């Protein structure tokens, strides 16, 4: 469901967590996961399915919403042949074409948060929850009967209304990353999931869709996790993710050591320390991973609070995988061409003297962190299917 009316996310700097770093560990005693396996007959909301029967539910209100927000791209009959000219045809619901699941819950999430790398925007700010549910039922009514009956394995975990954290082996990502023995998979209620290497907390990939099949529950725990979402963004793997600039100007690699994970809010959180080669802690970081929205469409964000033990210049690798060329840059934003597609990156929280530095295969932000008050930064990434005038316009808009 496409619309030119994607709403922009708030740019206000969030407040530092009320109790600060000193009490953060106490808040981490919450269980690492609130998900459970799906039983036969259950839907993605984790309870016996009460999904409204597919069809023209909620008419005429549902049709009014569809005509207002969706028909221009997806067509009056849901065949993807709307009046708006798109770079790629819109999804045909009549063929059962649902990118990230054919349950009401999956469609509500897609409507709310959009689809990164496509022209499907987020409607979370434009539609109430009840309206998104009405639209989901209406759209399901276009689908053939065979596309309306989801099945689930007993080892599948779903993300409900709280984040989910799973640890275990992560399989290789074709053409990108090798298998990770120590993997970390974070599920967000929006339908995004984040794959990280637990040994250094490097972000490997961002997925959209169903969460994970716990393959490690089979064969006495020897199998890898099986992430179920589709990869919407692969991240760069060259060099050290975190670097400290020494007084002589030479970079020194830092290692991120996980302290705890948190699921006590709307999005998954990580707490970790940045340590030097001697094992000394240089800085403490709390990172929140979640969604982002802009005129470029739907994306994801890493929001961080960084507190250093002493004044230090830090540098963070933010490059996507396959960064082929810098197309256009602003002080705190850049438009990149990738081996497949493109990406708009916007960094919030940098001072006027701090810049996003980018080259072929590399992109970093450098900034100064000090003790006493945590430094807030947000790195927003918007995968793009094509580079066009709209992408350049979004860069200019986000750079103001």
- Domain spans of the chain? 61-147, 235-398
Q: Long-range contacts for 355-361 (Cβ within 8 Å, ≥24 apart)?
A: 355/331, 356/318, 356/329, 356/331, 356/332, 358/319, 358/323, 358/326, 358/329, 358/334, 359/326, 360/323, 360/324, 360/325, 360/326, 361/236, 361/238, 361/319, 361/323
- Comparing C-alpha atoms, which of 13, 289, 345, 293 is closest to residue 126? 293
User: Could you list the pLDDT tens digit for every one of the 400 residues in the chain?
Assistant: 444 333 333 344 454 443 344 333 333 333 333 444 444 344 443 333 334 334 454 578 888 999 999 988 888 888 888 888 776 777 778 766 565 666 788 788 888 888 877 778 888 888 998 998 899 888 888 876 655 545 556 678 888 888 989 888 999 887 777 888 899 999 999 999 999 999 999 999 999 999 998 877 766 557 889 999 999 999 877 667 899 987 766 889 999 999 999 887 889 999 999 999 999 999 999 999 999 988 888 999 999 999 999 999 999 999 898 899 999 988 899 999 998 889 999 999 999 899 898 877 789 999 999 999 899 999 999 999 888 888 888 888 887 7
Bridging pattern class, strands 269-275 and 251-262: antiparallel
Cα–Cα nearest to 107, from 34, 205, 208, 206: 208
Tokens representing 243? 């670097």
6 in the Ramachandran plot: left (φ > 0), alpha (ψ -120 to 50) or beta?
beta
Closest to 196 in 3D by CA, of 100, 291, 261, 275:
261
CATH 2.40.50.100 describes domain 61-147: no
β-partners of residue 262 are 269
Q: What are residue 306's DSSP bridge partners? A: 285, 375
Q: Where are the alpha helices (DSSP H) in the chain?
A: 61-69, 71-74, 104-113, 129-140, 389-398
Model confidence, pTM:
0.70
CA-nearest of 264, 283, 262 to 274 is 283
Query: Could you tell me which of 6, 385, 383 has the C-alpha nearest to residue 232?
Result: 383
């Amino acid at each position: 469901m496409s619309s030119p009316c994607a709403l922009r996310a708030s740019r206000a700097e969030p407040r530092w967590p009320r109790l600060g770093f000193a009490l953060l560990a106490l808040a981490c005693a919450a269980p690492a996961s609130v998900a459970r396996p799906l039983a036969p007959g259950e839907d993605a909301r984790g309870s016996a399915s009460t999904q409204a029967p597919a069809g023209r539910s909620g008419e005429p209100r549902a049709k009014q919403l569809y005509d207002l927000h969706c028909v221009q791209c997806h067509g009056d009959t849901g065949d993807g042949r709307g009046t708006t000219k798109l770079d790629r045809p819109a999804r045909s619901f009549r063929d059962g074409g649902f990118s990230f699941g054919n349950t009401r819950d999956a469609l509500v999430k897609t409507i709310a948060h959009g689809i990164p790398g496509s022209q499907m925007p987020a409607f979370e700010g434009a539609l109430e929850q009840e309206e998104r549910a009405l639209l989901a039922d209406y759209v399901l009514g276009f689908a053939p009967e065979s596309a309306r009956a989801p099945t689930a394995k007993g080892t599948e975990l779903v993300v409900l209304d709280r984040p989910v954290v799973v640890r275990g082996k992560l399989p290789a990502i074709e053409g990108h990353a090798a298998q990770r023995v120590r993997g970390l998979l974070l599920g967000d209620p929006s339908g995004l999931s984040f794959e990280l290497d637990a040994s250094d907390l490097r972000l490997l990939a961002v997925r959209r869709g169903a969460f994970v099949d716990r393959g490690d529950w089979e064969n006495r725990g020897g199998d890898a996790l099986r992430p179920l979402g589709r990869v919407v963004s692969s991240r760069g793997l060259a060099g050290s993710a975190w670097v400290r600039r020494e007084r002589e100007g030479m970079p020194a690699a830092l290692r991120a050591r996980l302290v705890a994970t948190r699921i006590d809010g709307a999005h998954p959180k990580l707490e970790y320390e940045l340590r030097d080669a001697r094992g000394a802690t240089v800085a403490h970081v709390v990172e929140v991973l979640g969604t982002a929205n802009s005129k470029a469409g739907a994306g994801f964000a890493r929001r961080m609070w960084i507190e250093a033990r002493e004044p230090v210049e830090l540098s963070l690798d933010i490059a996507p995988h396959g960064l082929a060329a810098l197309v256009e840059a602003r002080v705190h934003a850049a438009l990149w061409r990738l081996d497949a597609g493109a990406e708009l990156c916007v960094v919030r929280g940098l001072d006027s003297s701090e810049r996003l530095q980018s080259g072929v295969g590399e992109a970093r932000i450098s900034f100064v962190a000090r003790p006493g008050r945590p430094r807030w930064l947000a790195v927003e990434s918007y995968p793009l299917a094509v580079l066009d005038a709209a992408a350049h316009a979004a860069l200019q808009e986000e750079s103001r």
